[in-house]
Structure formats: structure tokens, C-alpha cells
């Protein structure tokens, strides 16, 4: 497989278009990165709905970073109705693939729940 990072444009607008072309072909890494472009407004206007859509497409293919980011969308209600149970489900999937952000947030939620209990 070719080193895709070496081919990636440096300009945000060009990078957005590069990700878009690859994402539309079904590449989960590009779908996640395109979602990030929409989420952060890099090379395109910020759009929570589009970010959610592209994170969801990548997450469906098992991309752990996208599962984490999609969980954030559900937790914060970004581009979708807020749903903490769905967020935890997605973070758990990501954590099971060694996504450190998901592992951290689940550990933090668990610690907070334990502290509240007693």
C-alpha cells in the first residue's frame, strides 16, 4: 500500500478536496479526516451535520478514531440529537481497539460514577 501521508496536500483547501475524493470512494481514513475538516472548519466551512455524516461512515467500517469522534457528536449533540448511551457504546468500541482518547473518557466517567456512589 502506498504511503498516503506522503501524497496528502499541505494546503487546507486542497487537503479537504483530496479527502473528499477519497472519502467518496469509501476510504475510512479519508472519511474520518473529512469529518474532522467539517468539525474544525479546515478547508471548508464548519458543519456539524457533515462532520457527523462522515464520522458515521468511517465508524461503520470500524475506524476507531471515527468511533470516538462520533461518540463525541452524540455526547455533545453535534449534528445529531444528544444520546449519552450511544456515545458510550461508540467509545467502548473505540476503546476496545486501543483508542486512548476513548479509554481515557470511559475511565474518567467510571471514576466519576464511583465517586458519586460513595
- Compute how many other C-beta atoms are within 10 angstroms of the C-beta atom of residue 79: 21
pTM for this model (two decimals): 0.87
Q: Is 93 within a domain? A: yes
Q: Structural domain of residue 45, as residue ranges?
A: 10-117
Identify whether 51 is part of a domain: yes
Residue 2 counted as domain residue: no
Sequence-separated (6 or more) residues with CB below 8 Å from residue 93: 59, 64, 67, 102
Looking at the domain assignment, is residue 4 inside a domain? no
* 46 grid coordinates: 464548519
pLDDT tens per residue, range 34-87:
999 999 999 999 999 999 999 999 999 999 999 999 999 999 999 999 999 999
Amino acid at each position: 500500500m502506498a504511503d498516503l501521508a506522503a501524497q496528502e496536500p499541505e494546503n487546507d483547501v486542497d487537503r479537504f478536496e483530496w479527502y473528499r475524493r477519497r472519502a467518496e470512494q469509501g476510504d475510512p481514513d479519508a472519511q474520518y479526516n473529512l469529518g474532522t475538516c467539517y468539525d474544525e472548519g479546515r478547508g471548508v466551512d464548519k458543519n456539524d451535520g457533515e462532520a457527523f455524516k462522515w464520522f458515521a461512515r468511517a465508524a461503520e467500517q470500524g475506524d476507531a478514531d471515527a468511533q470516538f469522534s462520533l461518540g463525541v457528536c452524540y455526547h455533545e449533540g453535534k449534528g445529531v440529537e444528544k444520546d449519552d448511551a450511544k456515545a458510550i457504546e461508540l467509545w467502548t468500541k473505540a476503546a476496545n481497539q486501543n483508542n486512548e482518547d476513548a479509554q481515557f473518557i470511559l475511565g474518567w466517567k467510571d471514576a466519576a460514577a464511583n465517586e458519586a456512589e460513595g
